[in-house]
C-alpha cells in the first residue's frame, strides 16, 4: 500500500469513526451525541426486561466514560439517557409508575419528598409509547432535564438534584434492571 493510500485510509477512518454506531436488538445507538453544544459519548447500553419481555434498549451518554455508578451520577456536565422501545406498547401510567418506584426505591423519604412536585411535573410530560418510539432524557446544565419523545421536546424539569435522582432509577442501589445497569455502565457487551 502506498503512503498516500495509507494516509487516505486513516483520514476516512478518522472521519467515519464518530458516525459508527453500536447495535443492540436491532437498535442502532450512535457513539456520540450533542446536548446543548456539548458532545457526550456512549458510556454503555443494555436491554430493559420485565418478566420475559424486552421493553426497551436503554443507553447512557456522558462527557467521559466510567464504569462506576456513583461517579456517573455525580459527574458534572451534560448527560443523556435514551430509551428505544421494543415492546408493542407501554402505557403512560406504566412509565410514570416506573419513575415513581425508581425514585422511591433509591432515595431517602426526605429526598423523595423534596423532589415529589418536580417528579409530578416530569410525569405529566409523558405519553403512551409504542414499539419504535424513542425517549431522550437530556440533562442540560443550568437548564435541567429535558424530555424529548420522537424528536419532539415535551418540556423540562429544573435541578441537578432531580437529574441525579433520575439517574438512580437505572444506576442506583435498587435499579429498575440490574443487567441494564451493568450494560449502561459499560461492564458488558450486549450485542
pLDDT digits (tens, 9 = 90+) for 176-185: 999 999 999 9
User: Model confidence at 41, in pLDDT bands (50, 70, 90)?
Assistant: very high
What integer pLDDT is reported at residue 3 of this predicted model?
57
d(CA 133, CA 56): 9
- Closest to 68 in 3D by CA, of 189, 185, 190: 185
Mean pLDDT, range 83-93, rounded to an integer: 98
What integer pLDDT is reported at residue 13 of this predicted model?
46
What integer pLDDT is reported at residue 19 of this predicted model?
45
All domains of the chain in start order, with CATH: 21-184 (3.50.70.10)
What's the half-sphere exposure (Cβ side, CA atoms, 13 Å) at 110? 0
What's the half-sphere exposure (Cβ side, CA atoms, 13 Å) at 171? 29
Burial class of residue 169 in the structure, from the number of CB atoms within 10 Å of its CB (0-12 exposed, 13-18 middle, 19+ buried): buried
Asked if residue 10 has pLDDT above 50, the reply is: no
pLDDT digits (tens, 9 = 90+) for 44-73: 999 999 999 999 999 999 999 999 999 999
What integer pLDDT is reported at residue 22 of this predicted model?
85
pLDDT digits (tens, 9 = 90+) for 104-161: 999 999 999 999 999 999 999 999 999 999 999 999 999 999 999 999 999 999 999 9
pTM to 2 decimal places: 0.87
Amino acid at each position: 500500500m502506498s503512503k498516500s493510500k495509507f494516509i487516505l485510509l486513516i483520514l476516512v477512518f478518522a472521519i467515519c469513526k464518530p458516525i459508527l454506531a453500536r447495535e443492540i436488538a436491532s437498535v442502532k445507538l450512535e457513539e456520540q451525541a450533542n446536548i446543548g453544544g456539548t458532545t457526550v459519548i456512549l458510556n454503555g447500553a443494555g436491554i430493559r426486561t420485565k418478566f420475559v419481555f424486552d421493553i426497551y434498549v436503554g443507553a447512557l451518554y456522558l462527557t467521559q466514560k466510567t464504569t462506576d455508578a456513583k461517579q456517573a451520577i455525580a459527574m458534572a456536565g451534560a448527560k443523556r439517557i435514551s430509551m428505544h422501545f421494543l415492546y408493542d406498547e407501554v402505557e403512560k401510567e406504566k412509565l410514570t409508575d416506573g419513575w415513581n418506584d425508581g425514585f422511591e426505591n433509591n432515595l431517602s423519604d426526605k429526598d423523595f419528598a423534596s423532589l415529589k412536585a418536580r417528579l409530578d411535573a416530569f410525569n405529566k410530560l409523558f405519553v403512551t409509547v409504542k414499539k419504535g418510539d424513542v425517549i431522550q432524557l437530556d440533562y442540560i446544565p443550568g437548564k435541567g432535564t429535558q424530555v424529548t419523545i420522537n424528536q419532539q421536546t415535551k418540556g423540562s424539569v429544573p435541578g441537578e438534584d432531580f437529574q441525579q435522582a433520575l439517574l438512580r432509577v437505572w444506576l442506583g442501589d435498587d435499579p429498575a434492571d440490574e443487567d441494564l445497569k451493568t450494560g449502561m455502565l459499560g461492564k458488558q457487551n450486549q450485542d
